[in-house]
Amino acid sequence: MADRGRLLWMKFYPADWRSDIAVRALTLAARGFWWECLCIMHEAEPRGHLLINGKAPSPRELAAHLGVTVGQVRQGLKQVIDRQAASETAEGVVYSRRMVRDEEKRRRNRDNGKLGGNPRLTDSDNSGVIPLDNQSDKAGDNPSDKAHARQAQRLRGLEAQRPESTHTVGVGTSNGNGADSALRARAGAFYERYRWELYPEIRGVAYTPTRSVEGSDFDSVARLCASYDDAKVEKVARFFLEIPDDQEQFLKGKQRTLSMLLSMAAPIAERLWGNHASPA
Protein backbone atom coordinates (compact mmCIF):
# COMPACT_ATOMS: atom_id res chain seq x y z
CA MET A 1 0.00 0.00 0.00
CA ALA A 2 1.30 3.47 -0.82
CA ASP A 3 2.36 5.64 2.11
CA ARG A 4 -0.34 8.19 1.32
CA GLY A 5 -3.01 5.57 2.02
CA ARG A 6 -1.96 5.50 5.66
CA LEU A 7 -2.60 9.17 6.30
CA LEU A 8 -6.35 9.50 6.69
CA TRP A 9 -6.29 12.89 8.40
CA MET A 10 -4.88 16.30 7.52
CA LYS A 11 -3.01 18.63 9.85
CA PHE A 12 -4.79 21.97 9.94
CA TYR A 13 -4.15 25.10 12.02
CA PRO A 14 -7.17 27.45 12.01
CA ALA A 15 -5.07 30.33 13.34
CA ASP A 16 -2.60 29.92 10.46
CA TRP A 17 -5.39 29.82 7.91
CA ARG A 18 -7.10 32.92 9.30
CA SER A 19 -3.87 34.93 9.67
CA ASP A 20 -2.29 33.99 6.34
CA ILE A 21 -2.05 37.21 4.33
CA ALA A 22 -2.37 35.48 0.97
CA VAL A 23 -5.42 33.46 2.02
CA ARG A 24 -7.13 36.50 3.49
CA ALA A 25 -6.56 38.32 0.20
CA LEU A 26 -8.78 35.75 -1.55
CA THR A 27 -12.51 36.21 -1.95
CA LEU A 28 -14.69 33.93 0.15
CA ALA A 29 -15.50 31.87 -2.96
CA ALA A 30 -11.80 31.53 -3.81
CA ARG A 31 -11.01 30.42 -0.25
CA GLY A 32 -13.61 27.68 -0.55
CA PHE A 33 -12.17 26.67 -3.92
CA TRP A 34 -8.65 26.57 -2.47
CA TRP A 35 -9.80 24.45 0.48
CA GLU A 36 -11.33 21.91 -1.91
CA CYS A 37 -8.05 21.87 -3.82
CA LEU A 38 -6.12 21.28 -0.58
CA CYS A 39 -8.26 18.22 0.12
CA ILE A 40 -7.38 16.84 -3.32
CA MET A 41 -3.71 17.69 -2.82
CA HIS A 42 -3.65 15.89 0.52
CA GLU A 43 -4.52 12.66 -1.27
CA ALA A 44 -2.14 13.27 -4.19
CA GLU A 45 1.27 11.73 -4.72
CA PRO A 46 3.45 13.62 -4.16
CA ARG A 47 1.30 15.11 -1.43
CA GLY A 48 0.70 18.83 -1.64
CA HIS A 49 0.44 18.93 -5.45
CA LEU A 50 -2.80 19.45 -7.38
CA LEU A 51 -2.84 16.07 -9.11
CA ILE A 52 -5.64 13.61 -9.81
CA ASN A 53 -4.51 10.04 -10.49
CA GLY A 54 -0.96 11.34 -10.76
CA LYS A 55 -1.70 13.94 -13.43
CA ALA A 56 -2.41 17.66 -13.37
CA PRO A 57 -6.13 18.02 -14.17
CA SER A 58 -7.36 20.33 -16.88
CA PRO A 59 -9.80 23.07 -15.81
CA ARG A 60 -12.63 20.96 -17.23
CA GLU A 61 -11.52 17.85 -15.32
CA LEU A 62 -11.11 19.81 -12.09
CA ALA A 63 -14.52 21.44 -12.58
CA ALA A 64 -16.13 18.02 -12.98
CA HIS A 65 -14.31 16.74 -9.89
CA LEU A 66 -15.42 19.70 -7.74
CA GLY A 67 -18.91 20.03 -9.19
CA VAL A 68 -18.42 23.63 -10.36
CA THR A 69 -18.15 25.38 -13.71
CA VAL A 70 -14.98 25.67 -15.77
CA GLY A 71 -15.19 29.44 -15.38
CA GLN A 72 -15.22 29.13 -11.58
CA VAL A 73 -12.15 26.88 -11.73
CA ARG A 74 -10.28 29.33 -13.95
CA GLN A 75 -11.17 32.25 -11.67
CA GLY A 76 -10.18 30.30 -8.54
CA LEU A 77 -6.85 29.19 -9.96
CA LYS A 78 -6.04 32.70 -11.13
CA GLN A 79 -6.74 34.14 -7.69
CA VAL A 80 -4.73 31.62 -5.67
CA ILE A 81 -1.73 32.04 -8.00
CA ASP A 82 -1.94 35.81 -8.45
CA ARG A 83 -2.35 36.39 -4.70
CA GLN A 84 0.37 33.86 -3.86
CA ALA A 85 -1.77 31.49 -1.81
CA ALA A 86 -0.36 28.77 -4.08
CA SER A 87 2.73 28.23 -6.19
CA GLU A 88 3.44 26.43 -9.46
CA THR A 89 6.22 24.04 -10.38
CA ALA A 90 8.29 24.54 -13.53
CA GLU A 91 5.87 22.10 -15.21
CA GLY A 92 2.89 24.27 -14.22
CA VAL A 93 1.58 22.01 -11.45
CA VAL A 94 -0.14 23.97 -8.68
CA TYR A 95 1.07 23.11 -5.17
CA SER A 96 0.75 24.21 -1.55
CA ARG A 97 4.08 25.32 -0.08
CA ARG A 98 2.90 24.61 3.46
CA MET A 99 1.57 21.14 2.67
CA VAL A 100 4.77 20.20 0.85
CA ARG A 101 6.85 21.32 3.85
CA ASP A 102 4.60 19.45 6.28
CA GLU A 103 4.89 16.30 4.19
CA GLU A 104 8.67 16.53 4.01
CA LYS A 105 8.81 16.95 7.77
CA ARG A 106 6.38 14.08 8.36
CA ARG A 107 8.48 11.73 6.26
CA ARG A 108 11.66 12.91 7.94
CA ASN A 109 10.20 12.36 11.39
CA ARG A 110 8.97 8.92 10.36
CA ASP A 111 12.44 7.99 9.12
CA ASN A 112 14.03 9.37 12.29
CA GLY A 113 11.62 7.24 14.31
CA LYS A 114 12.96 4.15 12.59
CA LEU A 115 16.41 5.20 13.83
CA GLY A 116 15.24 5.53 17.42
CA GLY A 117 13.36 8.82 17.29
CA ASN A 118 16.41 11.07 17.60
CA PRO A 119 16.83 13.50 14.66
CA ARG A 120 20.33 14.35 15.95
CA LEU A 121 21.81 10.90 15.38
CA THR A 122 23.86 12.34 12.52
CA ASP A 123 24.41 15.75 11.05
CA SER A 124 22.71 14.68 7.83
CA ASP A 125 19.65 13.41 9.71
CA ASN A 126 19.20 16.80 11.34
CA SER A 127 20.23 19.06 8.49
CA GLY A 128 16.78 19.22 6.96
CA VAL A 129 14.64 19.59 10.05
CA ILE A 130 12.29 22.48 9.37
CA PRO A 131 12.84 25.22 11.95
CA LEU A 132 10.42 27.80 13.27
CA ASP A 133 9.98 29.22 9.75
CA ASN A 134 6.57 27.98 10.07
CA GLN A 135 5.96 28.63 12.59
CA SER A 136 4.50 29.10 10.35
CA ASP A 137 4.97 25.41 11.81
CA LYS A 138 3.58 26.89 14.38
CA ALA A 139 4.77 29.50 16.72
CA GLY A 140 2.99 29.22 20.00
CA ASP A 141 2.96 27.21 23.18
CA ASN A 142 2.21 23.90 21.48
CA PRO A 143 5.09 23.08 19.08
CA SER A 144 4.13 20.46 16.55
CA ASP A 145 7.07 18.16 17.10
CA LYS A 146 9.78 17.25 19.59
CA ALA A 147 12.44 19.35 17.90
CA HIS A 148 10.30 22.45 18.25
CA ALA A 149 9.50 21.56 21.85
CA ARG A 150 13.20 21.37 22.70
CA GLN A 151 13.85 24.69 20.99
CA ALA A 152 10.92 26.35 22.75
CA GLN A 153 12.15 25.04 26.11
CA ARG A 154 15.62 26.44 25.47
CA LEU A 155 14.23 29.83 24.50
CA ARG A 156 12.06 29.93 27.62
CA GLY A 157 15.25 29.30 29.58
CA LEU A 158 16.82 32.32 27.91
CA GLU A 159 13.85 34.45 28.88
CA ALA A 160 14.13 33.32 32.51
CA GLN A 161 17.73 34.58 32.58
CA ARG A 162 16.72 38.03 31.32
CA PRO A 163 17.11 40.80 33.93
CA GLU A 164 13.73 42.23 34.90
CA SER A 165 12.95 45.58 33.35
CA THR A 166 9.87 47.41 32.28
CA HIS A 167 11.66 49.19 29.43
CA THR A 168 14.45 47.10 27.95
CA VAL A 169 15.34 43.53 27.22
CA GLY A 170 18.53 42.71 29.05
CA VAL A 171 21.14 40.74 27.14
CA GLY A 172 23.32 39.79 30.04
CA THR A 173 26.67 38.01 29.88
CA SER A 174 27.57 34.63 28.49
CA ASN A 175 26.34 31.68 30.50
CA GLY A 176 28.89 29.38 28.94
CA ASN A 177 26.87 28.73 25.83
CA GLY A 178 28.12 31.03 23.09
CA ALA A 179 25.22 30.29 20.73
CA ASP A 180 22.62 31.09 23.39
CA SER A 181 24.44 34.25 24.40
CA ALA A 182 24.63 35.40 20.76
CA LEU A 183 20.93 34.70 20.32
CA ARG A 184 20.13 36.76 23.41
CA ALA A 185 22.23 39.61 22.10
CA ARG A 186 20.51 39.59 18.70
CA ALA A 187 17.06 39.33 20.29
CA GLY A 188 17.75 42.16 22.70
CA ALA A 189 19.12 44.42 19.98
CA PHE A 190 16.16 43.85 17.69
CA TYR A 191 13.67 44.33 20.51
CA GLU A 192 15.15 47.75 21.21
CA ARG A 193 15.13 48.65 17.52
CA TYR A 194 11.53 47.50 17.07
CA ARG A 195 10.30 49.43 20.10
CA TRP A 196 12.21 52.69 19.81
CA GLU A 197 12.85 53.00 16.04
CA LEU A 198 10.76 50.85 13.71
CA TYR A 199 7.42 51.08 15.51
CA PRO A 200 7.38 54.89 15.97
CA GLU A 201 8.79 55.41 12.46
CA ILE A 202 6.20 53.25 10.66
CA ARG A 203 3.16 53.37 12.95
CA GLY A 204 3.64 56.97 14.06
CA VAL A 205 3.02 56.18 17.74
CA ALA A 206 5.08 54.90 20.63
CA TYR A 207 5.23 51.18 21.34
CA THR A 208 4.29 50.71 25.00
CA PRO A 209 3.97 47.02 25.89
CA THR A 210 2.75 46.00 29.33
CA ARG A 211 5.10 44.02 31.52
CA SER A 212 3.36 40.73 30.69
CA VAL A 213 3.49 41.50 26.97
CA GLU A 214 7.15 42.47 27.26
CA GLY A 215 7.97 38.98 28.51
CA SER A 216 6.24 37.25 25.61
CA ASP A 217 7.78 39.81 23.25
CA PHE A 218 11.27 38.70 24.14
CA ASP A 219 10.39 35.04 23.61
CA SER A 220 8.91 35.95 20.22
CA VAL A 221 11.99 37.95 19.19
CA ALA A 222 14.25 35.07 20.21
CA ARG A 223 12.21 32.67 18.09
CA LEU A 224 12.37 35.04 15.13
CA CYS A 225 16.14 35.47 15.49
CA ALA A 226 16.56 31.70 15.77
CA SER A 227 14.67 31.27 12.49
CA TYR A 228 15.84 34.17 10.33
CA ASP A 229 18.95 36.26 9.91
CA ASP A 230 18.87 39.90 11.05
CA ALA A 231 18.18 41.31 7.59
CA LYS A 232 15.14 39.06 7.11
CA VAL A 233 13.81 39.78 10.61
CA GLU A 234 13.98 43.49 9.79
CA LYS A 235 12.20 43.11 6.44
CA VAL A 236 9.48 40.89 7.91
CA ALA A 237 8.93 43.38 10.74
CA ARG A 238 8.67 46.32 8.35
CA PHE A 239 6.17 44.46 6.18
CA PHE A 240 4.13 43.57 9.27
CA LEU A 241 4.06 47.14 10.57
CA GLU A 242 3.09 48.51 7.16
CA ILE A 243 -0.01 46.30 6.76
CA PRO A 244 -3.02 48.65 6.64
CA ASP A 245 -5.39 48.34 9.60
CA ASP A 246 -8.33 47.57 7.34
CA GLN A 247 -6.53 44.71 5.59
CA GLU A 248 -6.18 42.46 8.64
CA GLN A 249 -9.19 42.48 10.96
CA PHE A 250 -7.36 40.99 13.94
CA LEU A 251 -4.79 43.84 13.79
CA LYS A 252 -7.34 46.64 13.57
CA GLY A 253 -7.11 49.05 16.48
CA LYS A 254 -4.53 46.95 18.32
CA GLN A 255 -0.95 47.58 19.31
CA ARG A 256 1.15 45.33 17.10
CA THR A 257 3.09 43.17 19.50
CA LEU A 258 6.05 41.03 18.62
CA SER A 259 3.96 37.96 19.39
CA MET A 260 1.63 39.03 16.59
CA LEU A 261 4.65 39.52 14.34
CA LEU A 262 5.83 35.99 15.13
CA SER A 263 2.41 34.53 14.26
CA MET A 264 2.55 36.20 10.83
CA ALA A 265 6.28 35.83 10.11
CA ALA A 266 6.07 32.71 7.94
CA PRO A 267 3.31 33.87 5.57
CA ILE A 268 5.01 37.26 5.29
CA ALA A 269 8.34 35.57 4.50
CA GLU A 270 6.65 33.45 1.85
CA ARG A 271 5.09 36.57 0.40
CA LEU A 272 8.50 38.28 0.28
CA TRP A 273 10.70 35.41 -0.84
CA GLY A 274 8.41 32.58 -1.97
CA ASN A 275 10.06 29.18 -1.70
CA HIS A 276 13.29 30.89 -0.68
CA ALA A 277 11.84 31.97 2.68
CA SER A 278 14.09 29.58 4.58
CA PRO A 279 15.85 30.75 7.73
CA ALA A 280 19.42 31.93 7.77
Q: Above 70 in pLDDT, residue 127? A: no
Q: What is the pLDDT of residues 223-270, one digit of tens each?
A: 999 999 999 999 999 999 998 887 777 787 788 899 889 888 999 988
Q: Above 60 in pLDDT, residue 151? A: no
Q: Strand (E) positions, the chain?
A: 87-88, 94-95
CA pair distance 219, 5, nearest whole angstrom: 39
Mean pLDDT of the region 75-82: 93
Q: Above 90 in pLDDT, residue 123? A: no
Amino acid at 105: K
Q: What share of the chain is helix, strand, coil (3-state, %, to 5)?
A: 60, 0, 35
| C-alpha torsion sign, points 63, 66, 71, 76 | negative
Q: How far is CA 77 from CA 29, 85, 131, 149, 176, in A?
A: 11, 10, 30, 37, 53
Mean pLDDT of the region 276-280: 47
Query: pTM, whole model, 2 decimals?
Result: 0.43
Query: 240, 264 in Cβ contact below 8 A?
Result: yes
Q: Residue 134 — pLDDT band, cuts 50, 70, 90?
A: very low
Q: Residue 183 — pLDDT band, cuts 50, 70, 90?
A: confident
Q: Residue 6 — pLDDT band, cuts 50, 70, 90?
A: low
As a whole number, the mean pLDDT across the chain is: 76
Poorest-pLDDT segment among 13-17, 100-104, 110-114: 110-114
> Hey, what domains does the chain have and what are their CATH numbers?
3-99 (1.10.10.10), 139-276 (no CATH)
Q: Residue 61 — pLDDT band, cuts 50, 70, 90?
A: very high
Predicted pLDDT of residue 153: 53
